Amino acid sequence: MKIKYTNIVKKQRDFYNTNITRDISFRKKALLQLKNKMEEYEENLYEALEIDLNKNAKEAFLSEIGQVYDELDLAIKKVNKWSKTKKVKSNYTTFGSKSGKVLLPRGLTFIISPFNYPVNLSLIPLISSIAAGNVAILKLSNLTPSTNSVLQNIIDESFKEEHVSVVSDQNFKSFNDIYKEEIDFLFFTGSTKTGKIIQQKCVENDIPHILELGGKSPTIVETGVDTQKHSLERIVWGKLLNAGQTCVAPDYFLVNEKIVENFIENLKIEIQEQYPNVLENNNLPKIINKDSFKRLEKILKKYKDNIVFGGLTDKENLQIEPTIIYVEDSTEIKKTEEIFGPIFFISKYENFSEAIQLIKEIDPNPLAAYLFTNNNIQISHFVHEVNSLNIAINDVIVQISNPNVPFGGIKTSGVGSYHGRFGFESFSLQKNIMNKKWNTNLPLMFINKGTNLSKTRSLMRKFKKILR
């Protein structure tokens, strides 16, 4: 019988109030235990990911398990440093005092993870939460039962349930029960549609939150790229990783009209080299369920006259072969939702400024944005004009795997950021601390005694120079 959600919350709240999670050595020990259990169950994770998503071991390691190890190693190494009080300069109003900021735990955190990267997108935010000294409840996707079973074992053997608990729909009467209990922080990864609902609930219940959503991430392809083997390899790899079911996958391609035909022909060749005979060889991850498969089939049917490569499907095995759709009219891109599948949706543009304008019209706040060019002026224009927080030049997707930079969205693509130190900070409360000597006062600070306005302004200027 599943433990009631209310009981889990109470146990975690009581455990957090013992203050044991504030101890840095306790946090490091917990992270080390998680790493040990990850290593112990690594082969089981590969098997489970193949069952749930048809991911092979190499793809699973590169996109999921390897990245979790990177985050664990970084957090274990840096948690002492991240937790220290940082001294900051005083200004004239705090003269005679010591000022600083310290990151402290938020408390009880709730993490909701999606199906597409069930190991990566559940454990990396969990690592941030544990490193920051919180307790955590982890809600896994119902669409990956085999992986969930392994993750449940890893969590159960790494933590006491009052420290970290895994929950499922069986723990709730309804999803709204989540917000009926006191939660100090919520982290959600998933669709924009669901994210909006969760954000509204968080606002209604005063719950601080991070939302990692999605959107239509653009790729501009400039002249010269059509013959660049390395660029074509990266584009195909990134688009077809997890069969396109990646929140930062290239959603559509705007290709310079001078090279669009040659680009498509060379793209076909590269797809065949990386993923030959997908339906026969079963060498591409599957679409997660029948509903997603039907949604992608509708796109293929709608644009059947625009398919220039691929287009075949295997309903029984939920497989869709890599497909290229080419539309002359770029406004068609705006008519499709986020593709989230192995479909290359391509159109052309006449000049670079036109391509930038199209991006703003199609989805003005994409989660990621990509540009293939060696023109520095175009690169500068792209970086400053495209309103995405995750930009890569001459590559795709890999920019978010670096734990030394933040990953997050803006407006419709998300709220807040995480990874590495940035995740630690997001799962922490930043406290401002000022410690003033009891026998130090500045006469200029008192309104009706001490200095007049002219003298006060003069002294302020002098203090500012001293404190620079």
> What does DSSP say about strands 417-418 and 407-408: parallel, antiparallel, or unpaired?
antiparallel
Residue 226 structure tokens: 């059509």
pLDDT at 1: 43
Which of 449, 412, 426, 461 lies closest to 105, judged by CA? 426
pLDDT of 49 > 80? The answer is: yes
Confirm if 166 and 158 have CB atoms less than 8 A apart: no
How much is the CA Rg of the chain, to the nearest whole Å? 26
**Percent share of the chain, pLDDT over 70:** 98
**Domains delineated in the chain:** 2-213+414-429 (3.40.605.10), 218-403 (3.40.309.10), 438-467 (no CATH)
Kindly report, residue by residue over 192-208, the tens digit of the pLDDT: 999 999 999 999 999 99
pLDDT of 467 > 70? The answer is: no
Confirm if 349 and 257 have CB atoms less than 8 A apart: yes
Kindly report, residue by residue over 76-102, the tens digit of the pLDDT: 999 999 999 999 888 877 777 889 999
Which of 7, 20, 15, 427 lies closest to 181, judged by CA? 7
Mean pLDDT of 153-160: 98
Kindly report, residue by residue over 111-128, the tens digit of the pLDDT: 999 999 999 999 999 999
pLDDT of 420 > 90? The answer is: yes
Kindly report, residue by residue over 276-301, the tens digit of the pLDDT: 999 999 999 999 999 999 999 999 99
Q: 3-class SS at 165?
A: strand
| Catalytic site positions | 212, 247
pTM of the model as a whole: 0.94
pLDDT at 357: 98
Q: Report the distance separating Cα 337 and Cα 335, nearest Å.
A: 7
pLDDT of 173 > 70? The answer is: no
Mean pLDDT of 24-34: 98
| pLDDT band at residue 468 using 50, 70 and 90 as cut-offs | low
Say which residue the tokens 């669901």 belong to. Answer: 194
